[in-house]
């Protein structure tokens, strides 16, 4: 009895009936070995195989006695295919060929669409990584553009300020010296700012400081290369003004974050909202005609002879970066 571990076939010699190998070895021997080897099942329908010269075993797969090179078949097939190549191009054969192609088309189409799906899926993963990289690149470009926009915006502001200053100089006829704001008062009480021009540049204490929009203040202290400007917002910087439409004289005094306009009002003429307030030549402390601001709120006390108004200053000290120091005006 044979107990085969891997499979239930054995290689048997046809000549002697001897078992040569079992299992996988038998399969290998079938292909490799001589012509008298047969592959036999060890168990067929529950009956054990009897091996020996009598009865002669019936082979299930045998090596040919002589290994043919099949050269004739090769030549025959080549000739047949050459003929088929010619015949299949004849018009009468086109129906059959087309029918065969049509039979393959659905399966081919299904596989192609499956391929498309796979492509879409794989390209989606590719797209995600590509999009991520693209996103990073765009983010970097966006930051660069933002900084450029910021720089351009700043340049535009400076340009605007310089244009206004130029216009101011041309319109007023005063000589001015441009200065950059390099600092601001450290507390809410002293509404001052520091500019980068000093006595070395001809800037002296008492000189009037303006922007293109209007009056800003006065040089309080001049150092060699920097000066302190006391702005109108400081309560110790009263300015004699005139209210344009009403033609009333008054005084603007700073106080905290706003300017207050005090106008003696002995007559029936009153300050109205929206009136413009300019410097007057009273006292000659400031050049006349400099814009201070616009009346926004008016408060009139009962029986009071003075109107108090809030003035919206044309300059915002927190945003001013560029000023002009009027060098040829001497306060009296």
Partner 1 sequence: MRWAAAAAVILAAALLQSAWGPRLDIVGAFPNLVLLVVVAGAWTLGPRAGMAWACAGGLLLDLLAGGPLGPHVLALLPGVYAIGLLGRGRQQPHVLLVAAAAAVVTLLYSAVLVLPHPAPAGVAIRLAVAAALYNSVLAPFVFAPVRRMVLGTITRRAQA
Task: Select from 35, 114, 133, 155 the one that contacts partner 1 (CB under 8 A).
Answer: 114
Query: Whole-number minimum distance, CB 1 to partner 1, in Å?
Result: 18
Q: How far apart are CA 36 and CA 30, in angstroms?
A: 9
Least separation in angstroms between residue 54's CB and partner 1 is: 22
Q: Please report how close the Cβ of residue 109 comes to partner 1 at its closest, in angstroms.
A: 8
Instruction: Please state the closest distance from residue 128 (CB atom) to partner 1, in A.
Output: 20
65 binds partner 1 (CB under 8 A): no
Tell how strand 227-231 and strand 258-264 pair up: unpaired
Q: Which of 107, 268, 302, 318 binds partner 1 (CB under 8 A)?
A: 107
- Please report whether residue 84 would count as binding partner 1 according to CB under 8 A: yes
**Could you tell me if 292 and 239 are in contact, meaning their C-beta atoms sit under 8 angstroms apart?**
yes
Quote the CA–CA distance of 227 and 197 in Å, as a whole number. Answer: 6
Structure tokens at 19: 């078992």
Among residues 18, 48, 53, 111, which is the contact residue for partner 1, using CB under 8 A?
Answer: 111
How many C-beta atoms surround the C-beta of residue 278 within 10 A?
18
Instruction: Return left, alpha or beta for 187; rule: phi > 0 is left, psi -120 to 50 is alpha, else beta.
Output: beta
**Residues 6 or more apart whose Cβ sits within 8 Å of residue 294:** 274, 275, 276, 277, 311, 312, 314
Considering only the stretches 5-13, 178-186, 197-205, 323-331, report the one whose residues sit in contact with partner 1 under the rule CB under 8 A: 5-13
Distance in Å, CB of 158 to partner 1, minimum: 58
Asked if 239 contacts 252 with a C-beta cutoff of 8 angstroms, the reply is: yes
Binding site for partner 1 (CB under 8 A): 7-9, 27-28, 30-32, 39-41, 60-61, 67-70, 73-74, 77-78, 81-86, 88-89, 97, 100-101, 104, 107-108, 111-112, 114-115, 119
């Amino acid at each position: 009895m044979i107990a085969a571990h891997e499979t239930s076939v054995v290689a048997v010699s046809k000549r002697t009936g001897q078992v040569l190998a079992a299992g996988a070895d038998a399969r290998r021997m079938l292909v490799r070995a001589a012509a008298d080897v047969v592959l036999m099942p060890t168990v067929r329908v529950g009956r054990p195989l009897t091996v020996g010269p009598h009865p002669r075993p019936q082979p299930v797969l045998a090596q040919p006695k002589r290994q043919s090179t099949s050269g004739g078949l090769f030549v025959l097939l080549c000739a047949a295919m050459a003929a088929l190549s010619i015949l299949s191009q004849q018009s009468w054969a086109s129906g059959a060929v087309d029918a065969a192609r049509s039979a393959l088309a659905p399966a081919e189409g299904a596989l192609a669409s499956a391929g498309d799906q796979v492509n879409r899926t794989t390209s989606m993963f590719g797209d995600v990584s590509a999009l991520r990289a693209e996103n990073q690149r765009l983010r970097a470009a966006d930051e660069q553009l933002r900084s450029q926009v910021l720089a351009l915006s700043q340049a535009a502001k400076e340009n605007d300020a310089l244009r206004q200053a130029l216009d101011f100089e041309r319109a007023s006829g005063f000589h001015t010296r441009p200065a950059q704001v390099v600092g601001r008062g450290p507390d809410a009480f002293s509404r001052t700012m520091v500019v980068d021009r000093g006595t070395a540049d001809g800037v002296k204490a008492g000189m009037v400081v303006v922007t293109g929009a209007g009056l800003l203040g006065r040089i309080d202290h001049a150092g060699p290369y920097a000066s302190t400007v006391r702005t109108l917002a400081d309560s110790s910087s009263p300015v004699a003004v005139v209210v344009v439409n009403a033609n009333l004289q008054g005084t603007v005094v700073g106080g905290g974050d706003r300017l207050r306009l005090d106008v003696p009002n002995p007559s029936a003429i009153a300050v109205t909202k929206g009136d413009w307030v300019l410097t007057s030549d009273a006292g000659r402390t400031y050049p006349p005609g400099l814009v201070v601001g616009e009346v926004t709120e008016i408060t009139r006390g009962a029986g009071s002879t003075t109107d108090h108004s809030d003035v919206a200053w044309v300059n915002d000290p927190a945003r001013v970066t560029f000023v002009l120091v009027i060098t040829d005006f001497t306060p009296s």
